[in-house]
Structure 1
């Protein structure tokens, strides 16, 4: 058995020595074994311990394995749970979805998205103000038809009112209408009616054709007849038509609203613009509340009975 003492490091460290106490190697090494004392106490104590230990000593030249402490061993390593691994991506996706929804909502509010409904607004800034010209009525034949501008339709009997002047139509002049009161005094002194009218669209309005003028006229009608109440519009039908051999354009739209005191929450509007003479256009307009839908077939039938005077 090898005697206790310093020996070249059996682990192979060049220029280093490790102490053999007769049974095991020290964990420390030294570059100056002559000046170093034996680890763990005096050399004599190590020697006597070696002698007392008996016959099972290790070969000092045998290779040994030195365990190097892992600095991370002091800290427990906890594997991330499944939720911890995916919560980051989920948070990113959630933020992106919220951003997209907010953007879509904002675009819908300004009318960029949302189909034909558009924003709930009644634009009137480009519509002409109602003035004396809207009330002028040209002499017309008394032949059982209602005349307005260059159009006429067969006069309707009860419960429709007698023809009367209507000065509210944007761009309108020489307008005659018949009405039925559907809700009386929904506001003090105001009635909600079903109405049918014909009239002239004033020359110089810039309408190149009936179709070109329809967008402006339809928007102005909504603004003139519904005031400040928000109105949602859905176009049901829009197409070119021919009335008594003249070029025309038809728009059917459904309007929804919530006006305080009014039972009706929507109505159907029919607008036909017809090129009645030269650069002059005339209009047929009918508005039928949803709670008076039985009069809608009458309004549609009159389209086929319009005549250019």
Structure 2
């Protein structure tokens, strides 16, 4: 067996390869390095020599360069997505998005304060109907009360109502009632049409009749309609609440705004507590019996 040393490349290539007595080196050189000088200054010829700038480093450098290029846009997209999600959440909390209408609050900052004008009552015919503004319905008999004035209706004047006491003295001196009423709506911004004024009137009614108690509103029916040949818009909604001392935890409310003449509008409003649902058909039947005039 040949001694260790440099020999002409047995593969036929130019130069010499080193034989260590067991295997040929991977390295070659043009001139033999002497019988005692092994390639690589003591490096095992069988061990691959990694040279700086080899393929491993070449792979890492493009990867680092690619991340530096996309890092900025990725961060911007993440910020935009977080902002959009936060905005959607805020709009849902305010009730702007979603199909359940306003959230559990009664905003009244844009609603008019009750004034003495709300209590004024115009003269009307005594023909067995209850009149408010230019709208009327057939007067209801017992157990409904006789028609009385109601000054709590936002934007309202000349309001007449009939009620049934459902819970008496749920708080000292306060009764919870089922009610129906008609009245005139004072002209103002948002009343160019019955539909245009509906959302504002509905929100203000919730704020005026339920005070600071949180109310969850769910719109059941929203549709245009015709009342006695006049343009009108109807909203039926269910209101959920938890009023201290009150057994009822919700009620159905019906609002109809009617363009009674020119720029004037009148309102029909009914509220029937959940623990008095036997009176809801009556409130709905009156919708078809509304008349304009008087």
TM-score class, shorter-chain normalisation, is 0.7 to 0.9
In structure 1, the partner of 2:147 is 163
2:191 is equivalent to residue 189 of structure 1: no
Which position in structure 1 is the counterpart of 2:230?
246
Q: Is the 8 A contact 2:240 2:250 kept in 1?
A: yes
Q: Kindly indicate whether residue 237 of structure 2 is the aligned counterpart of residue 275 of structure 1.
A: no
Q: Name the CA shift for 1:190/1:32 in 2 (closer, same or farther; >3 Å).
A: same
Equivalent residue for 1:293? 277
Within a 5 Å distance, the mapping from 1:15-34 to structure 2 comes to 31-33=33-35
TM-score under structure 1 normalisation?
0.70
CA distance in 2, matches of 1:31, 1:235: 96
Answer yes or no: is the 8 Å Cα contact 1:10–1:18 preserved in 2: no
Unaligned runs of 5+ in 1: 37-64, 72-94
Contact 2:6 2:35 in 1 (8 A): no
Residue pair 2:148, 2:160 contacting (<8 A) in 1 also: yes
Instruction: Give distance in 2, aligned partners of 1:177 and 1:34.
Output: 120
Q: Do the aligned partners of 1:149 and 1:198 also contact (CA within 8 Å) in 2?
A: yes
Once the two structures are overlaid, the 10-residue window that deviates more, 203-212 or 285-294, is 203-212
Return closer, same or farther for 1:230/1:11 CA change in 2, 3 Å cut-off: farther
Q: How far apart, in 1, do the equivalents of 2:127 and 2:239 lie?
A: 34
Matches within 5 A, 1:1-309: 7-9=5-7, 14=15, 31-33=33-35, 67-68=46-47, 104-204=88-188, 207-308=191-292, 309=294
- Whole-Å separation in 2 of the counterparts to 1:101 and 1:145: 53
Alpha-carbon spacing, 1:299–1:16, altered in 2? closer, same or farther (3 Å): closer
- What is the TM-score when the length of structure 2 is the normalising length? 0.73
Report deviation, 1:229.
1.8
Across the aligned residues of Structure 1 and Structure 2, the Cα RMSD in angstroms comes to 3.4
Separation in structure 2 between the aligned mates of residue 104 and residue 204 of structure 1, nearest angstrom: 32
**Deviation beyond 3 Å, 4+ runs, structure 1:** 9-20, 24-27, 29-36, 98-107, 203-206
Contact 2:190 2:196 survives alignment (8 Å):
no
Residue 201 of structure 1 deviates from its aligned partner by 1.0
* Deviation (angstroms), 1:17: 6.2
In the aligned structure 1, how far is the partner of 2:130 from the partner of 2:114? 22
Question: What number of residue pairs does the alignment pair up?
Answer: 251
Q: How far is 1:141 from its partner?
A: 2.6
Q: Secondary structure at the match of 2:216?
A: strand
